[in-house]
Structure 1
C-alpha cells in the first residue's frame, strides 16, 4: 500500500485530484449539519 500525499498548501481542486493527494468529500456531513437538529457552533482552533 502506497502512502498518499496530504494536500497542504494546494489551492486548486484539479491539482489536488491529478497529483494523487488525499481528498475526503464531506458534503453529505455538511448538508446533514445544516438541515437536521439544532444549531451548531463551528469554531476554529487558535494557533
Structure 2
C-alpha cells in the first residue's frame, strides 16, 4: 500500500537535472517508455517546445 507523504512535494520548475529532481524529491512523472519508443524508431525528431518546457530535463533523464 502506497502512503502519501504528509507534505506536498515540490514542483520541478526550472530543474534541468534528473538526478537533482529525484534526489530532492520533486514531483516526477515517468515517461521513459515513451522516450524509448521515440528514440528507438529510425525517424529523426525535432523537439520544438517553448522555453522552460523540459527539453534539457528530458535529455538529462536519458543520460541518467
TM-score, normalised to structure 2, is 0.41
User: In the TM superposition, what is the alpha-carbon distance from 1:27 to its structure 2 partner?
Assistant: 3.0
Question: Which structure shows the higher helix fraction?
Answer: 2
Q: Which structure has the larger Rg?
A: 1
Which structure has the higher relative contact order (CA within 8 Å, separation 6+)?
2
Aligned-residue Cα RMSD (Å) equals 2.9
Structure 1 unaligned segments of length 5 or more: list them.
33-43
Counterpart mapping for 1:22-41 below 5 A: 22-29=27-34
Could you list the structure 1 runs, at least 4 aligned residues long, displaced by more than 4 angstroms after superposition. 29-32
- Report how many aligned residue pairs link the two structures: 45
User: In the TM superposition, what is the alpha-carbon distance from 1:21 to its structure 2 partner?
Assistant: 0.1
Structure 2 unaligned segments of length 5 or more: list them.
38-48, 51-64
